[in-house]
């Protein structure tokens, strides 16, 4: 059933997805098509992914493809012409890769985001929604630090835009179940190769969100955010080793030394993730399924929806992780949405 609020926000609009050929971009595309936008533009540097997506969507007449990189402002300028809404999904997101190549993370995640902001202001885009991560909270790695800076750029843009109409906001994901490069596809890839699953520490925990709820979060930002905010979906916590054991069980394999190894923390990796800092919690409001963090500067005037939350740090080690039955149900959600092949 279509949401009438989203129908009004998306119908007959031109929507651009940076990084749109990625896992989240494809899932968002499928949802957006339900609301009959005038056109959807897929902007990404991965020519191969675009080719296969174009083949899958050959029946969709209002879909356009742009090969390009958010580092290239001139190319973004052409792709964003006459757009109404931009979902900025493009990023370097692998922690270890960014740790060894930090300036590449700066060029894509920070400078690329500023390019998106500048071009959006030039074209008077209606809304720009940036996809961030819980790794941006008290970051311990280059990827998280670059995403934190991108969040700051988005909030600041909403302050200095002057009379321009563009609304900038961010959403924070946890580990999106099934997204490319996330923990479940990584484990499944190793199983498919006949290799043991590697867990870095038995006590490591992560916030986990199904793909469908990640897309809900992106779309909710269209009507819950009025400028400069960070919107977060409430997410369950998973102990990574429990996830590995449950996946092994689903594949009929024992969780013994031949199939499950503890290998130690990798470069830039944290034992647990943080969703909201203590400082942020002082301006965070509970909207039911979501938390809304108001910006430090230029907060929109008017009454704030929701209830203030307790002033504290919200971390994955401060929440009881899912028990095995609930974890099995979460993986059933992944299977229903389409289990990735690696």
By percentage, how much of the chain surpasses pLDDT 90? 85
pLDDT tier at 331 (50, 70, 90 boundaries)? confident
pLDDT at 95 over 80: yes
Dihedral of CA atoms 134, 206, 235, 91 in degrees, nearest 10, equals: 40
pLDDT at 91 over 50: yes
pLDDT tier at 340 (50, 70, 90 boundaries)? very low
Q: Which domain holds residue 169?
A: 4-174+210-234+275-311
On whether the CB atoms of residues 175 and 189 are closer than 8 A, the answer is no
**Mean per-residue pLDDT for 174-198?**
89
pLDDT tier at 338 (50, 70, 90 boundaries)? low
Does 303 qualify as catalytic in the annotation? Answer: no
Asked whether residue 269 is domain-assigned, the answer is no
Query: Quick one: DSSP state of residue 320?
Result: P
Pairwise CA distance, residues 168 & 165, whole Å: 10
Cβ neighbours, 10 Å, residue 281? 18
Report the number of distinct structural domains present in the chain: 1
Asked whether residue 21 is domain-assigned, the answer is yes
Give the pLDDT of residue 304: 79
Pairwise CA distance, residues 340 & 183, whole Å: 11
- Counted residue by residue, the chain has a size of 342
Active-site annotation holder among 135, 147, 161, 270: 135
Give the pLDDT of residue 187: 92
Asked whether residue 97 is domain-assigned, the answer is yes
Asked whether residue 51 is domain-assigned, the answer is yes
pLDDT tier at 260 (50, 70, 90 boundaries)? very high
**Mean per-residue pLDDT for 13-18?**
98
Burial of 194 (0-12, 13-18, 19+ CB in 10 A): exposed
For residue 75, what is the domain's CATH number? 3.40.50.720
- Of 34, 1, 39, 48, nearest to 17 (Cα)? 39
Which of 124-128, 176-180, 227-231, 258-262 is least confident?
176-180
Asked whether residue 331 is domain-assigned, the answer is no
Pairwise CA distance, residues 269 & 187, whole Å: 17
**Mean per-residue pLDDT for 147-173?**
96
pLDDT at 272 over 80: yes
**Mean per-residue pLDDT for 112-137?**
98
- Of 227, 168, 175, 160, nearest to 205 (Cα)? 175
Asked whether residue 268 is domain-assigned, the answer is no
- Of 72, 104, 78, nearest to 16 (Cα)? 78
DSSP output for 11-38: TT-EEEEETTTSHHHHHHHHHHGGG--S
Which of 149-158, 185-194, 282-291, 314-323 is least confident?
185-194
- Of 233, 210, 207, nearest to 291 (Cα)? 233
Which of 54-68, 171-185, 229-243, 264-278 is least confident?
171-185
Asked whether residue 147 is domain-assigned, the answer is yes
Asked whether residue 255 is domain-assigned, the answer is no
Give the pLDDT of residue 25: 97
């Amino acid at each position: 059933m279509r949401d009438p609020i989203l129908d009004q926000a998306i119908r007959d609009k031109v929507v651009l997805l940076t990084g749109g050929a990625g896992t989240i971009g494809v899932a968002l595309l499928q949802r957006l098509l339900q609301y009959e936008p005038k056109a959807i533009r897929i902007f990404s540097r991965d020519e191969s992914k675009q080719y296969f997506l174009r083949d899958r969507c050959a029946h969709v007449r209002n879909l356009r493809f742009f090969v390009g990189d958010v580092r290239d402002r001139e190319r973004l300028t052409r792709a964003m012409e006459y757009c109404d809404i931009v979902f900025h999904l493009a990023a370097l997101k692998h922690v270890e890769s960014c740790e060894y190549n930090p300036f590449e993370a700066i060029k894509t995640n920070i400078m690329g985001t500023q390019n998106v902001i500048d071009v959006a202001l030039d074209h008077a885009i209606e809304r720009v929604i940036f996809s961030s991560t819980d790794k941006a909270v008290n970051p311990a790695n280059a990827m998280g630090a670059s995403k934190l800076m991108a969040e700051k750029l988005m909030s600041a843009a909403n302050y200095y835009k002057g009379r321009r109409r563009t609304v900038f906001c961010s959403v924070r994901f946890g580990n999106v179940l099934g997204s490319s490069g996330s923990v479940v596809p990584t484990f499944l890839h190793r199983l498919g190769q006949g290799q043991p699953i590697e867990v870095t520490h038995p006590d490591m925990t992560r916030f986990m969100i199904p793909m469908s709820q990640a897309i809900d979060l992106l779309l909710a930002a269209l009507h819950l955010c009025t400028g400069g905010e960070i919107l977060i979906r409430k997410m369950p916590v998973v102990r990574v080793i429990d996830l590995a054991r449950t996946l092994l069980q689903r594949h009929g394999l024992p969780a013994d030394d031949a199939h499950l190894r503890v290998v130690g923390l990798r470069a830039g990796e944290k034992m647990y993730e943080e969703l909201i800092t203590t400082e942020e919690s002082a301006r965070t409001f509970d909207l039911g399924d979501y938390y809304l963090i108001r910006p430090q500067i230029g907060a929109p005037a008017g009454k704030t929806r929701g209830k203030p939350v307790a002033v504290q740090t919200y971390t994955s080690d401060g929440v009881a992780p899912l028990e095995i039955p609930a974890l099995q149900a979460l993986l059933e959600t992944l299977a229903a949405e389409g289990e990735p092949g690696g």
